Amino acid sequence: MAVATLARGRARRQIDAPTRRQVAARVRVALRALGRARSSATLVFTDDEEIRVLNRDYRKHDRATDVLSFHLQELGGEGDPAGDGIALGDIVISVETARRRAHGRRLVAELERLAIHGLCHLFGHDHKKKAEATVMFALERRLRRLPLEPARRQ
């Protein structure tokens, strides 16, 4: 499965390649645990300026946010058979907002948390209603607790 990364805007100077690789590894482990090892996603690390424009244009909220997800196909959860072996979509993360919201955690941990949150959205989960939020946040916790695999030698 492919988890591509892209750093844009000021985020290019704020996030290094090892951090991008670790966040991508977290998403790959989650996809494998969900039985979606053949599916792919793109992680886009950006700045507050770009994510504000995206948030305004697509969600009608004229402010920066931490993470946005853009699915390529609507899915009914991680078990939806339509989500197997496809490009799921893009997870766009503001590194600047993530840094502010890290609250003493390491930045990489906050970026991983946001990437998993975005991945859950790609699978069709939401947190607008309490019952939906309970399901989504439980899935997020389970996926964030999965151990990362040791780095492979290149």
Domain membership of residue 70 (yes or no) is yes
Q: What is the pLDDT of residue 19?
A: 96
Q: Tell whether the model's pLDDT for residue 136 goes beyond 70.
A: yes
Q: What is the pLDDT of residue 1?
A: 58
Question: pTM for the full model?
Answer: 0.92
2: left (phi over 0), alpha (psi -120 to 50) or beta: beta
Task: State the total domains in the chain.
Answer: 1
Query: Residue 32 corresponds to which amino acid?
Result: R
Alpha helices in the chain (DSSP H): 11-14, 17-33, 48-59, 95-101, 107-122, 130-144
In CATH, what number is assigned to the domain containing residue 15? Answer: 3.40.390.30
Q: What is the pLDDT of residue 150?
A: 63
Domain membership of residue 149 (yes or no) is no
- The string of pLDDT tens digits covering residues 13-71 is 999 999 999 999 999 999 999 999 999 999 999 999 999 999 999 999 999 999 999 99
Q: Give the residue with greater pLDDT, 13 vs 1.
A: 13
Q: Tell whether the model's pLDDT for residue 151 goes beyond 60.
A: no
Domain membership of residue 75 (yes or no) is yes
- The string of pLDDT tens digits covering residues 104-125 is 789 999 999 999 999 999 999 9
Measure the CA–CA gap between 143 and 37, rounded to whole angstroms.
14
The domain in which residue 133 lies consists of 3-144
- Mean of the pLDDT values across residues 126-141? 93
Q: Which of 109, 89, 111, 96 is nearest to 3 (CA)?
A: 89
Domain membership of residue 74 (yes or no) is yes
Q: Tell whether the model's pLDDT for residue 153 goes beyond 50.
A: no
Q: Tell whether the model's pLDDT for residue 94 goes beyond 90.
A: yes
